[in-house]
Structure 1
Amino acid sequence: MKMTPRRKRSDSAAAAVAAAQAVALGPIDPPAHVTLRPGDRPFWDAIVTARARDTWTQTDLATAANLARAQADIETLQAQLDAAGYLIEGKANPLAAMVETLSRRAVALSRVLHVHAQATVGRSEDAAKALDNERKAAADHDPLIPTLRVVGG
């Protein structure tokens, strides 16, 4: 039988304190046995902040490093592909296949780590309902009630 400590309720005061402390600590650093290149770090930070700090295991962090490296490589290869073009002498540029392979890897790793959109934001139909509610609220806006406006934008 698996024995794991019980998680705090997300709406408790203790959970709010833990969340504030986690934010103050910043993104988790990679484990000592994992090497990240300088270009991987922005992706690493985005990945490890997509989940609560206390949910990451050492294995998850190693997988997160693979995802960060894949995302950094996608950006590098995509820039090279944009410069060279998708076609070279009438044939598909081999970089396009590499970008596609790395993109598939990134999607799979995101699912494994539960840092994909459905895990972090929710189901798309729920997001669509929220957007519809926002649009209805904007349409039902009372012009006598002041709202925030962006000036010059």
Structure 2
Amino acid sequence: MKVTAKRKRSDSAAAAVAAVQAVSLGPLQPPAHVTLRPGDRPFWEAIMLARARDTWTDSDLATAASLARSQADIERLQAEVDLEGFTIPSGNGTHIVNPKHKLLETLTRRAVSLSRVLHVHAEATVGRSRDAGKALANERQASLPLEDEDDLIPRLRVVS
């Protein structure tokens, strides 16, 4: 027997009202027992926008905080690697692979895993890749110049 409450249809008036109320409340805050650093905040807010407000549980929020911290650490480490380079001199003068690469790889794998657990990865938020491919094909088709261009028919123009 299913014990969770039945969700409202996403195309109902009640769902529209709930969406407006959720937006007016602003982004969810982390639970009191979870600490975010200032640099984690932009990632936290992006993660919170990836799912409807009423779908987050306290456990999800704690996991989302770990994802936000991981993403912030990835950005910080990547900036350091960009400055230091892919290789660094070792104690004896030879060049070795920057050890921060291993940390970046570990953090990236963690972020991918946490994104899947939270269902905030691309397939969950955008849809299947074949559907995204169709959308991209539509955009490419729309960007092609038309053979029978008529000044009386409004067209989208790309401003460079």
TM over 0.5: yes
Q: Which of 99, 105, 108 matches 2:104? A: 99
Aligned residues between the structures: 152
Task: Say if 2:118 is the partner of 1:113.
Answer: yes
Show the counterpart of 2:33. 33
Show the counterpart of 2:42. 42
Structure 2 Cα separation of the partners of residues 42 and 135 of structure 1? 31
Structure 2 Cα separation of the partners of residues 17 and 107 of structure 1? 33
Structure 2 Cα separation of the partners of residues 140 and 88 of structure 1? 49
Alignment of 1:1-150 (within 5 A): 1-89=1-89, 90-139=95-144, 143=150, 144-149=152-157
Structure 1 Cα separation of the partners of residues 65 and 142 of structure 2? 42
RMSD over equivalenced CA pairs, Å? 1.7
Task: Return the letter of the residue paired with 2:128.
Answer: R
- Residues 65-104 of structure 1, C-alpha deviation per residue, up to 9 Å, x if partnerless? 0000000011111111111111013210000110110000
Q: Which has the larger radius of gyration?
A: 2
Aligned partner of residue 82 in structure 1, secondary structure = helix
Mind listing any 5+ residue stretches in structure 1 that lack a counterpart?
A: none
Q: CA deviation at 1:8?
A: 0.6
Q: TM-score, normalised by structure 1?
A: 0.92
Aligned partner of residue 130 in structure 2, secondary structure = helix
% same residue: 70
Structure 1 Cα separation of the partners of residues 23 and 53 of structure 2? 9
Q: CA deviation at 1:134?
A: 3.1
Q: CA deviation at 1:135?
A: 3.0
Stretch of structure 1 that moved more, 66-75 or 141-150 = 141-150
Structure 2 Cα separation of the partners of residues 5 and 134 of structure 1? 39
Structure 2 Cα separation of the partners of residues 138 and 42 of structure 1? 32
Q: TM-score, normalised by structure 2?
A: 0.88
Mind listing any 5+ residue stretches in structure 2 that lack a counterpart?
A: 90-94
Aligned partner of residue 133 in structure 1, secondary structure = helix
Q: CA deviation at 1:140?
A: 8.2
Structure 1 Cα separation of the partners of residues 79 and 141 of structure 2? 40
Give the 4+ runs in structure 1 shifted more than 6 A: none
